[in-house]
């Protein structure tokens, strides 16, 4: 019960108070009421302040957290970009080293060209004349060799062998019927005579190399001895090499054998005559070009 009510109750019960006592009680009552009101307002203000402060702090925290997340994303992008830049730098270093090597090579070539350019016109003309003379000399040797072989083998028919020059080389084409039976790599007596005549000419000629090539037509072969035309063509070329070197004394260092099967025909395989021409041994005589190469690269 509030103080004012107590005073009024005393009056009603006959507990009469004088005026001064009544005023004092009323004043005390008002003072207590004001104090309670003040404390209530202060408490409300404090609560509101705390709530406002809490809201502000929460917003700042969320803002800070978003900023940190963005910074982390930016940092990741920066790291990736840095790695890419480092890779490009490494690639540029490799390219630089390559360019430096190429530049060094170009400098060497330039020096060589500079040295060569110092040759007088007369020197260049002399060098060209020497080069032409050597080529002509080689041609003369091969022409003479071709004629010597053709004359030595003139008793053989044109459907047995032919002699010709191609690309600066002398070719002696010996057909199958002169050397071998069908499907065999054994040289017959007439073929050996032709090879002996050829060897006599070759043994008297220096500075040439000899390539023996075996050729077949496109008719497949498969026997106990030969699996296919590769086998047959190679075996026939090897048989001719053995006869020229072991029987007739040609230098084995200057001769090689190879089989070319059906893949380099001299003519068509569509006719009987064409297939017969394709079954052949070719003796290819090449000049020694070492002196020409030396002159070219002086």
Neighbours of 269 (CB within 10 A): 15
Q: What is the pLDDT of residue 54?
A: 52
Q: What is the pLDDT of residue 23?
A: 45
Q: What is the pLDDT of residue 64?
A: 76
Q: What is the pLDDT of residue 135?
A: 81
Q: What is the pLDDT of residue 103?
A: 75
- DSSP label at residue 288: -
Neighbours of 249 (CB within 10 A): 12
Separation CA 88–CA 101 (nearest Å): 20
- DSSP label at residue 243: I
Alpha-carbon torsion, ordered 98, 101, 105, 108, to 10 deg: 150
Separation CA 193–CA 151 (nearest Å): 15
Neighbours of 214 (CB within 10 A): 27
Nearest partner of 149 among 211, 205, 213, judged by Cα: 205
Measure CA of the first residue to CA of the last residue in the chain; give whole Å. 134
Q: How many residues does the chain have?
A: 298
SS3 194: helix
Beta bridge partner(s), residue 161: 174
Neighbours of 280 (CB within 10 A): 24
Q: Return per-residue pLDDT of the chain as tens, 298 residues.
A: 555 455 455 544 544 444 445 445 544 545 555 656 656 656 666 555 555 555 556 777 677 777 777 878 878 888 888 888 788 788 778 877 877 777 777 777 666 665 555 667 777 777 777 777 778 878 888 899 999 999 999 999 989 999 999 988 999 999 999 999 999 999 999 999 999 999 999 998 888 899 999 999 999 998 999 999 999 999 999 999 999 999 999 999 999 999 999 999 999 999 999 999 999 999 999 987 665 555 555 5
Neighbours of 107 (CB within 10 A): 10
Q: What is the pLDDT of residue 235?
A: 97
Nearest partner of 269 among 259, 279, 260, judged by Cα: 279
Cα–Cα–Cα angle for 42, 43, 47, rounded to 5 degrees: 120
Fold of 129-296: 60s Ribosomal Protein L30; Chain: A; (3.30.1330)
Neighbours of 265 (CB within 10 A): 18
Separation CA 97–CA 107 (nearest Å): 15
Up-side HSE of residue 35: CA atoms within 13 Å toward CB? Answer: 6
Cα–Cα–Cα angle for 153, 156, 157, rounded to 5 degrees: 135
Question: Residues near 148 by Cβ (< 8 Å), separated by ≥ 6?
Answer: 201, 205
* Token couple for 270: 């569509």
Q: Which part of the chain has CATH 3.30.1330.60?
A: 129-296
């Amino acid at each position: 019960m509030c103080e004012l009510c107590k005073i009024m109750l005393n009056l009603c019960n006959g507990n009469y108070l004088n005026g001064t006592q009544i005023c004092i009680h009323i004043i005390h009552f008002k003072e207590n009421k004001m104090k309670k009101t003040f404390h209530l307002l202060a408490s409300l203000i404090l609560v509101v302040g705390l709530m406002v402060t809490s809201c502000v702090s929460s917003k700042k925290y969320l803002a800070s957290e978003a900023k940190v997340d963005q910074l982390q994303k930016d940092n990741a992008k920066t790291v990736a970009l840095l790695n890419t830049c480092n890779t490009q730098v490494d690639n540029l270093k490799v390219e630089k080293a390559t360019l430096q090597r190429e530049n060094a090579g170009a400098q060497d070539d330039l020096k060589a060209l500079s040295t060569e350019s110092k040759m007088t016109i007369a020197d260049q003309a002399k060098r060209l004349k020497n080069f032409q003379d050597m080529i002509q000399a080689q041609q003369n040797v091969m022409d003479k060799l071709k004629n010597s072989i053709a004359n030595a083998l003139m008793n053989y028919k044109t459907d047995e062998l032919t002699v010709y020059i191609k690309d600066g080389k002398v070719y002696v084409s010996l057909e199958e019927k002169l050397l071998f039976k069908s499907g065999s790599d054994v040289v017959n007596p007439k073929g050996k005579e032709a090879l002996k005549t050829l060897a006599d000419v070759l043994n008297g000629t220096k500075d040439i190399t000899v390539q023996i090539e075996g050729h077949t037509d496109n008719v497949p072969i498969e026997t106990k001895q030969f699996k296919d035309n590769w086998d047959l063509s190679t075996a026939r070329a090897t048989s001719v090499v053995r006869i020229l070197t072991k029987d007739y004394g040609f230098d084995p260092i200057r001769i090689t054998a190879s089989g070319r099967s059906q893949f380099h025909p001299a003519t068509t395989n569509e006719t009987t005559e064409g297939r017969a021409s394709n079954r052949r041994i070719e003796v290819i005589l090449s000049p020694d070009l070492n002196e020409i190469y030396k002159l070219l690269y002086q």
